[in-house]
Structure 1
Amino acid sequence: MLNRERYRGRLIDHIGLVVRDFAASKAFYTAVFKALNIPIGGSDERNLWADELFISTSDSDEVEGHLTGRIHLAFQAQDRAMVDAFYRAAMAQGGRDNGAPGERSYHPGYYAAFVLDPDGNNIEAVFRGASERSAAAVRIRY
């Protein structure tokens, strides 16, 4: 990878999605990440990565993979407006509705939207209400 700087401090080290149509997935996730203010770490003709998520073609050296099954990914949003923006961006890039923005019964203040990406993965953006973080992230440079 070209980018040798990562942010760590959360539970997951990385997630890899192997996709059928990389161009469609790249357009979808680029729009979603922009709406959620998530910087893209890098991209080439077979890979796109942002933070701990890698999206790749099945012939990518990095994943050595088969197409993934149905995955559920939930991205953190900074507020309800960002959840709404995520939903609009995802739908505009070919996402399919799997739950329009709104309050969920999971716990008070849980505001989320769900879309299916071009491969049918269930992608969520969630705002859990006001919170305090000890740090935004931990930066690691190689």
Structure 2
Amino acid sequence: MEAQEIYRGRLIDHIQLVVADLPTSRSFYEAIFKVLNIPIESLGEDNFWADELFVSSAASKAAQGMLTGRHHLAFQAKDRATVEAFHKAGLEHGGTDNGAPGPRPYHPGYYAAFLLDPDGNNIEAVHHGPHERSAASVLISFEA
């Protein structure tokens, strides 16, 4: 693997998921990463990686025979349409719905969708867009 630029200020350098069925997981992640415009690379028959996410089978040397537990991973999407395409692609490639695309109450403009990957990990695509103001909020801001 070629050395890559180090990004200072990031909390996470990389994450490893150890999965039960690598071909099934690869199909799922290839589909959602294609939508998110994230290329998948391969290091061998028992693993693949995309950006800072490394996925391997339990039989890989890196996994030491143990599956990882349930994780929640959130990937950034460039817009709401990408969040929706992520959800659709994931469902078509072995994912299970865990929250349809839509606004979330975490902060104004938070638009996300959630899927369970084939191993039960909670995988999210999120777009941090502008807050969509309703007519009521516009009236309140004019009256204030």
Give the alignment's TM-score, normalised by structure 2. Answer: 0.84
Give the Cα–Cα distance (whole angstroms) in 1 for the partners of residues 20 and 71 of structure 2. 14
Greater CA drift, 68-77 or 35-44? 35-44
Greater CA drift, 69-78 or 6-15? 6-15
Bigger RCO (CA 8 Å, 6+ sep): 1
Unaligned runs of 5+ in 2: 131-144
Higher helix share: 2
Per-residue deviation at 1:129?
1.4
Per-residue deviation at 1:39?
1.2
Unaligned runs of 5+ in 1: 131-142
1:28 matched to which residue of 2?
28
Instruction: State how many pairs are aligned.
Output: 128
2:105 matched to which residue of 1?
105
- % same residue: 62
Per-residue deviation at 1:59?
1.4
1:128 matched to which residue of 2?
128
Give the Cα–Cα distance (whole angstroms) in 2 for the partners of residues 75 and 43 of structure 1. 22
Per-residue deviation at 1:63?
2.9
**Greater C-alpha Rg:** 2
Q: Is 1:61 the equivalent of 2:61?
A: yes
Aligned with 2:4: secondary structure? strand
Q: Which runs of 4+ in 1 moved over 4 A?
A: none
Cα pair 1:75 1:124 within 8 Å, conserved: yes
RMSD across aligned positions (CA): 1.4
